[in-house]
Amino acid sequence: MNLVVDSGNTSTKVAIFDNEKLMEKNVFTTSAEIKNYLQESTAKNIIVSSVTRDMDELLSWAGKATHKIKVTPDLPLPVNILYTTPKTLGVDRIAGVCGAIQLFPSQSNLVIDAGTCITYDFVDQHHNFYGGGISPGLHMRFQSVHTFTAKLPLVKPVDYPELIGDSTEHCIQSGIVLGMTEEIEGIISRYRIKYPHLQVILCGGDASFFENKLKASIFACPNLVLIGLNRILLHNVAH
């Protein structure tokens, strides 16, 4: 059994895989919950990815594991990273493209992770990871409109705003939600001009918000990063 830990800004996802099959997934918000779970686990292998927590500490809690791996750009990976600044590459982005080649190994893939930021990451059919794009995420856009202006209010997104907003609140919702949807559609369209058989995979905390708004054909996979981390673990244990 493999234990996969993905620790983000607000919560930590912990999953159990039997080889390539996802068996169990839990979401924790406190260190005590994570520590108790890891200490009780009997998994043979563990991999951790974290943007906020000490990865060595997380690994130390899994005392029964034989192989303990933390994700860094220097780790042997199942993709060839052609990014010119690999040291600055987020581990979540690395895991996302590794998850993509696990699901669609013979295709070029565009991974769209709609989270705090929205990231676009391209990996070709030969498993070469080139990079992509980064732009502000949904809630960051609403927050920035309020923070960097004198009078515009902080409002919440709505699923289907009107094109023509009839109040300041509705105008912000229209501009941000429709604008971000068109951005995603436009990026997908430009990639598919260059790569007609491209597979597009949508993941991240706001994936469900945009999944049914996009006209382009996509594959929604909320567990993509966990699948990718397990792929990295299998790659390293095998070597």
Which residues are known catalytic residues? 92
Instruction: List Cα–Cα distances, 157 to 4, 138, 154, 165, 182, in angstroms.
Output: 32, 8, 10, 13, 15
Dist. CA 102–CA 224, nearest whole Å: 9
Phi, psi of 87 (to 5 degrees): -65, -20
CB count, 10 Å around CB of 138? 21
Which residues are within 8 A (CB) of 199 and not within 5 positions of it... i.e. 6 or more apart?
100, 104, 107, 108, 109, 110, 219
Tell which residue, 104, 152, 153, has the closest CA to residue 124.
104
Q: Which residue type, as a one-letter code, is found at position 96?
A: G
Three-state DSSP at 66 gives coil
Q: From residue 213, how far is each of 32, 73, 158, 173 by CA, in Å?
A: 38, 34, 12, 15
By three-state DSSP, how is residue 148 classified?
coil
Q: Kindly give, in sequence order, each residue whose CB lies less than 8 Å from that of residue 69, ignoring residues fewer than 6 positions away.
A: 45, 46, 47, 48, 75, 232, 233, 236
| Sign of the dihedral defined by the CA atoms of residues 30, 236, 91, 208, in that order | negative
